[in-house]
A and B are shown apart, each in its own frame.
Chain A
Amino acid sequence: LAKTTQPISMDSYEGQEVNITCSHNNIATNDYITWYQQFPSQGPRFIIQGYKTKVTNEVASLFIPADRKSSTLSLPRVSLSDTAVYYCLVVSGGGGNKLTFGTGTQLKVEL
């Protein structure tokens, strides 16, 4: 599984857009990029997944350049409730495989 690298922490203010970048230089052809969110003392929650270009859902957008060696999770207009740890993972396209969590990015949103 490709190793991921992301910033340890980020700070933002309510209403701002937050972009968290993750590098995954050794991503394989059939790997997907997946992001999870975790609040304290809770299990992670799936946010978004993509293979290439751009994916958008009601929560976030995921930008993946052509070489797929990095990806950027974009959270539009964050609020205090978006304070959490965000994990970038590379997942094999076969599905059902075990996940390897990296250090994650602690996002702190303030007023």
Chain B
Amino acid sequence: GAVVSQHPSWVICKSGTSVKIECRSLDFQATTMFWYRQFPKQSLMLMATSNEGSKATYEQGVEKDKFLINHASLTLSTLTVTSAHPEDSSFYICSTISLPRLADYNEQFFGPGTRLTVL
């Protein structure tokens, strides 16, 4: 299957700083990437849909000015958590579908996730 990487795998930062998380599709082109957030013992919650070359679409309740998404190329999307606070501490996961499609079914490929801890 397709490979999606995230960097960094974990990050610890001070409150008020900004953190950038990268999501890369390593062996295929991804016109669409998705960003999720997962708190401990909870399910994944979709934050936004990132489309290459255009503005991201945010889910209701997600602050677009706080969670900046950039999808500048077909292999890279970035999520920047601006002015991070302890309540932003979470596990951030990206996913994508491939272009061209690697499978006949609607499979999304997930990255390994990034653990963000804000002190």
- Chain A interface (Cβ < 8 Å from any Cβ of B): 32, 34, 41-46, 49, 87, 91-93, 95-104
Chain A residue, CB-CB nearest to B107: A46
Q: Is the CB of B111 within 8 A of A32?
A: no
Q: Is the CB of A32 within 8 A of B106?
A: yes
Extra A-B contacts (10), CB below 8 Å, given A42-B112, A103-B43: A32-B106, A41-B113, A42-B113, A43-B113, A44-B44, A46-B1, A95-B106, A96-B106, A97-B106, A99-B44
Assuming the A-B contacts A42-B112, A43-B110, are A99 and B105 also in contact, with contact meaning beta carbons closer than 8 angstroms in the complex?
A: no
Q: How far, in Å, is B117 (CB) from chain A's closest CB?
A: 13
Any chain A CB within 8 A of the CB of B45? yes
Classify chain B's interface size.
20 to 34
Main secondary structure of the interface of A (DSSP, over half): loop
Q: Is the CB of B107 within 8 A of A41?
A: no
Chain B residue, CB-CB nearest to A48: B105
> Which of B36, B97, B111 is in CB contact (< 8 Å) with A96?
B97
Hey, which chain B residues are within 8 Å of A93, CB to CB?
Answer: 106
Give A65 to B30 CA distance when docked, in angstroms: 34
Give A66 to B42 CA distance when docked, in angstroms: 32
Any chain A CB within 8 A of the CB of B71? no
> Which of A34, A45, A49, A101 is in CB contact (< 8 Å) with B44?
A101
Question: Which of B49, B94, B107 has the most CB atoms of chain A within a 10 A radius of its CB?
Answer: B107
Give A93 to B44 CA distance when docked, in angstroms: 21
